[in-house]
C-alpha cells in the first residue's frame, strides 16, 4: 500500500502524535491530512456526536483521496488512514501524548482562549500549540496561556477543503521562539502542503486579500449592478476562479463568514485595518445567517442545495 501521506514528506522529526481540537469541516480536514501523512491523530470535540460527524466527513473524503493516491488498493489505504485516527471527547486524552496541538473550533475569542489555557495544563511542556483561526490574531488566542507556552504557540491556517487545498499559512506570533516556529513550519510541509510564512496580522495573507474581494462582490450585488449568480459566473469564467465568491461563501459556511465579517469590523474599530474594509457594511450574509441558512452544510445559503445528495462535498 502506498504510504499514506504519499503527497507529503511524511512525519516530521520528533513528531508522532497530533491533537486536533474541533471536529467540524476544517478540524476534520486537518486531522485527515495529518493521518494521511502518517501521524497518530487524536481528534477531539466536546460531544460524541460532533466527533462522529467529523469521522464521517473524513471517511468520505479519504475515499476520494484513495482513488487518486492508491488506485487498486483503496480499501487498504482508507483503513490505514482511518486507523491513524483516535476520536475522543476527553481533553487530557487528546493532548496528553501530543507533540502538536491544533485548535480549529468556532471563531469565538473567549472559547478559543479558554480552550487553549485548559489544554495547556494537560499537554507536554514542550508540545507546540497552533490555532487555525481565520481572522483572530494568534497572540489573542494564546493570551491566557503561560509564557512558556506562548513561546511555542503559532498559527497554522488551512483552507477549505483542507484535503485538496495545497496551502498552509504558518504564522509567527511575537512571542514564538524560532525553534518552535521552524518545527511548526516543517510540520506544515510534512502534511504535503506548500507552507508560506506570515506575521501575526489580521487575516494573514489569503483572508486579508479575500476580504477586499468578497466585500466588493457583495457591493456589486447590493448596488444592483448584477445578480449574485452572474457575479459567480463572471469571476469563474472571466477571471478563472474555481468558484465565484457566493459559491465560496456557501462552501466555507455563512456562519463562519459572518463571524469573520464581524471580526473585520472589530479590526477596523481598533485601527488595525482601514475603515473602508467594512464601511458601508453589507447585510447579505448576516440576513441569511439570521434565517438559519449557513450554506451547503444546512442545504441553503445563497444557493439551494437541498436536492444534492452530499451537501458537504
258 is known as an active-site residue: no
Residue 163 makes contact with ligand 3HC by CB under 6 A = yes
Residue 79 makes contact with ligand 3HC by CB under 6 A = no
**Of the listed pieces 123-131, 160-168, 180-188, 288-296, which binds ligand 3HC according to CB under 6 A?**
160-168
134 is known as an active-site residue: yes
The whole-angstrom separation of Cα 87 and Cα 124 is 19
Closest separation between CB of residue 156 and ligand 3HC, Å? 11
Among the listed residues 49, 56, 68, 199, the single contact to ligand 3HC using CB under 6 A: 68
157 is known as an active-site residue: yes
Nearer to ligand 3HC by Cβ, of 26 and 50: the residue is 26
Nearest to 210 by CA among 134, 293, 147: 134
Residue 105 makes contact with ligand 3HC by CB under 6 A = no
Sheet order of strands, 167-172 included: 85-88, 40-44, 17-21, 100-103, 128-131, 153-157, 167-172, 194-199
Query: Minimal CB distance to ligand 3HC: which residue?
Result: 134
Of the listed 103, 157, 173, 263, which one is catalytic?
157
Residue 243 makes contact with ligand 3HC by CB under 6 A = yes
Residue 266 makes contact with ligand 3HC by CB under 6 A = no
Residue 28 makes contact with ligand 3HC by CB under 6 A = no
Residue 159 makes contact with ligand 3HC by CB under 6 A = yes
150 preceded by a cis bond (ω within 30 of 0): no
Q: Terminus-to-terminus CA distance in the chain, angstroms?
A: 26
Among the listed residues 207, 214, 258, 298, the single contact to ligand 3HC using CB under 6 A: 207
The residues, ordered by sequence, that sit 6+ positions from 253 with a Cβ below 8 Å of its Cβ are: 25, 294, 295, 296, 297
Among the listed residues 17, 18, 65, 231, the single contact to ligand 3HC using CB under 6 A: 65
**Active-site residues: which are they?**
134, 157, 169, 207
Amino acid at each position: 500500500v502506498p504510504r499514506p501521506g504519499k503527497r507529503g514528506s511524511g512525519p516530521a522529526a520528533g513528531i508522532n502524535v497530533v491533537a486536533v481540537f474541533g471536529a467540524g469541516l476544517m478540524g476534520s480536514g486537518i486531522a485527515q491530512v495529518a493521518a494521511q501523512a502518517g501521524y497518530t491523530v487524536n481528534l477531539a470535540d466536546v460531544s460524541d456526536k460532533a466527533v462522529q460527524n467529523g469521522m464521517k466527513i473524513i471517511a468520505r473524503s479519504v475515499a476520494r483521496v484513495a482513488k487518486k493516491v492508491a488506485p487498486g488498493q483503496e480499501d487498504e489505504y482508507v483503513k490505514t488512514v482511518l486507523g491513524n485516527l483516535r476520536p475522543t471527547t476527553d481533553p487530557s486524552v487528546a493532548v496528553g501524548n501530543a507533540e502538536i496541538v491544533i485548535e480549529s473550533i468556532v471563531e469565538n475569542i473567549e472559547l478559543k482562549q479558554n480552550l487553549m489555557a485548559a489544554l495547556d495544563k494537560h499537554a507536554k511542556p514542550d508540545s507546540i500549540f497552533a490555532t487555525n483561526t481565520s481572522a483572530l490574531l494568534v497572540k489573542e488566542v494564546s493570551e491566557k496561556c503561560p509564557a512558556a507556552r506562548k513561546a511555542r504557540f503559532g498559527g497554522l491556517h488551512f483552507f477549505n477543503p483542507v484535503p485538496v487545498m495545497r496551502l498552509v499559512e504558518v504564522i509567527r506570533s511575537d512571542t514564538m521562539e524560532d525553534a518552535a516556529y521552524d518545527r511548526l513550519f516543517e510540520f506544515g510541509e510534512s502534511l504535503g502542503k506548500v507552507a508560506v510564512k506570515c506575521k501575526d496580522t489580521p487575516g494573514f495573507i489569503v483572508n486579508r486579500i479575500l476580504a477586499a474581494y468578497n466585500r466588493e462582490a457583495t457591493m456589486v450585488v447590493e448596488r444592483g449592478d448584477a445578480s449574485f449568480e452572474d457575479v459567480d459566473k463572471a469571476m469563474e469564467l472571466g477571471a478563472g476562479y474555481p468558484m465565484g465568491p457566493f459559491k465560496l461563501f456557501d462552501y466555507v459556511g455563512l456562519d463562519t463568514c459572518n463571524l469573520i465579517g464581524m471580526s473585520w469590523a472589530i479590526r477596523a474599530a481598533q485601527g488595525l485595518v482601514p475603515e473602508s474594509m467594512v464601511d458601508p457594511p453589507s447585510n447579505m450574509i448576516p440576513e441569511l445567517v439570521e434565517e438559519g441558512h449557513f450554506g451547503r452544510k444546512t442545504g441553503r445559503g445563497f444557493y439551494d442545495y437541498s436536492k444534492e445528495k452530499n451537501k458537504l462535498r
